[in-house]
A and B are shown apart, each in its own frame.
Chain A
Amino acid sequence: MSHFSAEQEQTLMGWARRYPYRIMGLLEALRQVQEWRRCVGDQDEEYLAKLFDYPRNHVHELVTFFPGLTLRPTGRYRVGICRGLSCALAGSAAMCRCMEKSLGIKAGETTPDGKFSFETMECIGACDHAPALIVNDKLQGAASEQSISELLERLP
């Protein structure tokens, strides 16, 4: 018995079977685990290493290499503000401070209730919406004091 539910195990197995080679599903499976547990823990790594027949050190390498995967839990909503050049020119630094103030946490932290975490992002491909605001990998348009407060209100 693993620490995943039977249904979750099925989903992970689905990623293992989806591509022509099993290993090609690993990153997607890790993304899936990140979504469920808001981080990838030791147990998860062990489980996926076995499922994908891949050495554990390389699984851990992936988790630490890709910013989308985290070792410590993020919030249910991962809020990000881009600080790439176009966004920086449009005042992303001030918007980051605004977000930190609104959430009461610093970048890289999670609110105590586990609802939000805030990250500064490298370019998210939305320079036309600078400074770009993103929640759980979905672009939310430009960050402004108003859009930030509306967003935080809106999310259940």
Chain B
Amino acid sequence: MAKTIKFTLDGRVIEAREGETVLQAATRLGLLIPHYCWHPALGNPGNCRMCNVEVEGAPKALVSCRLYPKEGMVARSAAPAPRRWQSAALEFHLVDHPLDCPVCDQSGECGLQDYYMNSIGRYRSSMRDNKWHMGKRMVLGPHIMLDQERCIMCTRCTRFVDLISKSHELGIFGRGHSQVIDLVPGRVLDNPYSGCVADVCPVGALTDRDFRFQVRVWYLDWTDSICPGCSRGCNISAHTSTRRPWQNKGLRLARVKPRYKPEVNGHWICDEGRYGFLNYDSDRLGKVMRLKPSAEELSWEAAAAEVSSALRRKPAEGLAVMASGRLSNEDWQAFQKLFLEKLNVRRFLFAPEPDQVGAEDELLRRRDKAPNLEGGKAVGFGTRIASMSWDSLAADIEAGKVWGLYAVDRDPVKVWDQRGHELLERLDLLVYQGPRKGLTGELAHYRLPATDWLEEKGHFTNFQGLVQPYRQALKPLGAAKPDWAIFEGLAARL
């Protein structure tokens, strides 16, 4: 048992863990002590002065972000005196703030608004003088925009670029009231994690350029999900916009935010994950189609009947199956049942496409850009069963050893390029199954629409072997079904 320290906060007895501040203990228990500068991953400089509490026996206000409880200590945050101190600190933060909530994207999730509207704020302003003006609409980099007038100098963003991304693009320049957050001259805020500065910014100073003026945050729905961008499996919150479908350029996924998971991604996600899926709704498949020899939209029953018999038309030896590391654990199970147990397929390809191998760093990003090759390993793919290489499969098709190919969310045309067209034309059967058309979808005999990760629930296993659930955020498009359901539909007929 770790040592705990008992103290009282607003009349409630709290057990703080060893090394925890009063603010940390209170926040852990969901008790409100207002704060801006403290961030669990970025330290407690104690400069915002919002978290003042009253401690019995102490001669003056103490900031709870730097206050370590002592056994039996009696502290108050919600009593009239500390609330007034907190309110006064809020007032100082707002002295030069433009109060432009109606045109600010942070509205609805702004630390200034939140505290003003609850029991801490709601004072009558006595500011009668001209406000100090600073930079507006400053583009800091590909993703982030700065409004210096809205900045409250909590310094979280500069601590982020110093401590986490270690890229040092931002600084606090000048001093006193004319001090600003800004870029180092000649630099841009362009690091693999730049979007995180908008997350840590408690106000509307740093905002996402992508998200700017797209949709009000109170029209968004939040769903717990897992980023499918690499094998890290960062925990995210998918913010979707469906209540006002004409907003956000008509796209359903409005933005991706990190969700705290200490052992996987902490508080962060990378820009690839954050901004890489915003085109989620483009190029999507919603119809079950036979394209060759004659084009016709099919019902799932008809398609299952046709495809299952086509798969058995020739010996399984000549059948190849390629699958993507984006399958969920549930998909991999059904995949294994269909192709191994029922069809006894020998040729599998689940090696990454060349563009699924990318940059890796010490913070989060993994070289392997498929989220769930680990899930495949659990049912033998990558352990008992080895993957063919793209070249060897191409050679086998060329040599006439392969008559049929079942591609699950893979795009061989993209990989093989012009040669791909020729290779695929040689096949007697090409089934394409996936959420997006891709280049291969056009050439298939059968094209089966699958849901993408936000339209289904499932699990990914990350590179650490951690099985993580993701929830359904959106309705499937058209007739699309989860991959596992498609596999099971076929397996039932074999």
User: Are chains A and B touching in the complex at the 8 Å CB cutoff?
Assistant: yes
Q: Is the CB of A57 within 8 A of B158?
A: yes
Q: What's the Cα separation between A18 and B170 when bound, in Å?
A: 29
- Of the candidate stretches A58-66, A75-83, A97-105, A138-146, the one touching chain B is A58-66
Q: What's the Cα separation between A61 and B158 when bound, in Å?
A: 11
Q: What's the Cα separation between A56 and B173 when bound, in Å?
A: 12
Chain A residues near B175: list those with CB within 8 A. Answer: 64-65
A117 to chain B, nearest CB (A): 19
Q: Is the CB of B174 within 8 A of A42?
A: no
Q: Is the CB of A60 within 8 A of B171?
A: yes
Q: What's the Cα separation between A44 and B170 when bound, in Å?
A: 18
Digit string of A50-75 for contact with B (CB within 8 Å is 1, else 0)? 00000111101100110000000000
Chain A residues near B173: list those with CB within 8 A. Answer: 60-61, 64-65
A154 to chain B, nearest CB (A): 34
Q: What's the Cα separation between A49 and B170 when bound, in Å?
A: 15
Q: What's the Cα separation between A112 and B483 when bound, in Å?
A: 75
B146 to chain A, nearest CB (A): 14
Interface residues of B in 107-138 (CB under 8 A from A): none
Chain A residues near B169: list those with CB within 8 A. Answer: 57
Q: Is the CB of A64 within 8 A of B185?
A: no
Give chain A's interface secondary structure class. Answer: helix
With both beta carbons as reference points, the residue of chain B lying nearest to A64 in the complex is identified as B173
Q: What's the Cα separation between A60 and B182 when bound, in Å?
A: 10
Interface residues of B in 312-369 (CB under 8 A from A): none
A69 to chain B, nearest CB (A): 12
At the interface, yes or no: B494 with Cβ under 8 Å from chain A?
no
B225 to chain A, nearest CB (A): 34
A125 to chain B, nearest CB (A): 20
At the interface, yes or no: B262 with Cβ under 8 Å from chain A?
no
At the interface, yes or no: B161 with Cβ under 8 Å from chain A?
yes
Q: Is the CB of B158 within 8 A of A60?
A: no
At the interface, yes or no: B93 with Cβ under 8 Å from chain A?
no
A34 to chain B, nearest CB (A): 17
At the interface, yes or no: B172 with Cβ under 8 Å from chain A?
yes
Number of residues from B at the complex interface, CB < 8 A: 15
Number of residues from A at the complex interface, CB < 8 A: 10
Chain B residues near A55: list those with CB within 8 A. Answer: 162, 168
Chain B residues near A56: list those with CB within 8 A. Answer: 168, 184, 187
Q: What's the Cα separation between A65 and B170 when bound, in Å?
A: 15
At the interface, yes or no: B40 with Cβ under 8 Å from chain A?
no
Chain B residues near A42: list those with CB within 8 A. Answer: 185-186
Chain B residues near A45: list those with CB within 8 A. Answer: 185
Q: Is the CB of A57 within 8 A of B168?
A: yes
B147 to chain A, nearest CB (A): 20
Q: What's the Cα separation between A146 and B100 when bound, in Å?
A: 53
Digit string of A6-47 for contact with B (CB within 8 Å is 1, else 0)? 000000000000000000000000000000000000100100
A61 to chain B, nearest CB (A): 5
Chain B residues near A64: list those with CB within 8 A. Answer: 173-175
Q: Is the CB of B170 within 8 A of A57?
A: yes
With both beta carbons as reference points, the residue of chain B lying nearest to A42 in the complex is identified as B185
Q: Is the CB of A60 within 8 A of B174?
A: no
Q: What's the Cα separation between A64 and B171 when bound, in Å?
A: 10
With both beta carbons as reference points, the residue of chain B lying nearest to A57 in the complex is identified as B171
Q: Is the CB of A61 within 8 A of B172?
A: yes
Q: Is the CB of A57 within 8 A of B174?
A: no
B116 to chain A, nearest CB (A): 30
B84 to chain A, nearest CB (A): 32
With both beta carbons as reference points, the residue of chain A lying nearest to B185 in the complex is identified as A42
Q: What's the Cα separation between A40 and B161 when bound, in Å?
A: 24
Q: What's the Cα separation between A61 and B170 when bound, in Å?
A: 10
Chain B residues near A60: list those with CB within 8 A. Answer: 171, 173, 184-185
Chain B residues near A61: list those with CB within 8 A. Answer: 171-173
With both beta carbons as reference points, the residue of chain A lying nearest to B172 in the complex is identified as A61
With both beta carbons as reference points, the residue of chain A lying nearest to B178 in the complex is identified as A64
Interface residues of B in 62-105 (CB under 8 A from A): none
Chain A residues near B171: list those with CB within 8 A. Answer: 57-58, 60-61
Q: What's the Cα separation between A60 and B184 when bound, in Å?
A: 7
A73 to chain B, nearest CB (A): 16
Digit string of B165-197 for contact with A (CB within 8 Å is 1, else 0)? 000111111110000000011110000000000
Q: What's the Cα separation between A150 and B107 when bound, in Å?
A: 61
Q: What's the Cα separation between A65 and B187 when bound, in Å?
A: 19
Q: What's the Cα separation between A56 and B170 when bound, in Å?
A: 9
Chain B residues near A65: list those with CB within 8 A. Answer: 173-175
A6 to chain B, nearest CB (A): 26
Chain A residues near B185: list those with CB within 8 A. Answer: 42, 45, 60
A29 to chain B, nearest CB (A): 18
With both beta carbons as reference points, the residue of chain A lying nearest to B166 in the complex is identified as A55
With both beta carbons as reference points, the residue of chain B lying nearest to A46 in the complex is identified as B186
With both beta carbons as reference points, the residue of chain A lying nearest to B162 in the complex is identified as A55
Digit string of A80-95 for contact with B (CB within 8 Å is 1, else 0)? 0000000000000000
Pick the 6 closest A-B CB pairs, nearest first: A57-B171, A55-B168, A64-B173, A57-B168, A61-B171, A57-B184
Q: List 5 A-B contacts (CB under 8 A).
A: A42-B185, A57-B162, A57-B171, A64-B175, A65-B175
Binding site for B on A (CB under 8 A): 42, 45, 55-58, 60-61, 64-65
- Extra contacts, 14 of them, besides A55-B168, A57-B184, A65-B173 (Cβ < 8 A), are A42-B186, A55-B162, A56-B184, A57-B161, A57-B162, A57-B169, A57-B171, A58-B171, A60-B171, A60-B173, A61-B171, A61-B173, A64-B174, A65-B174
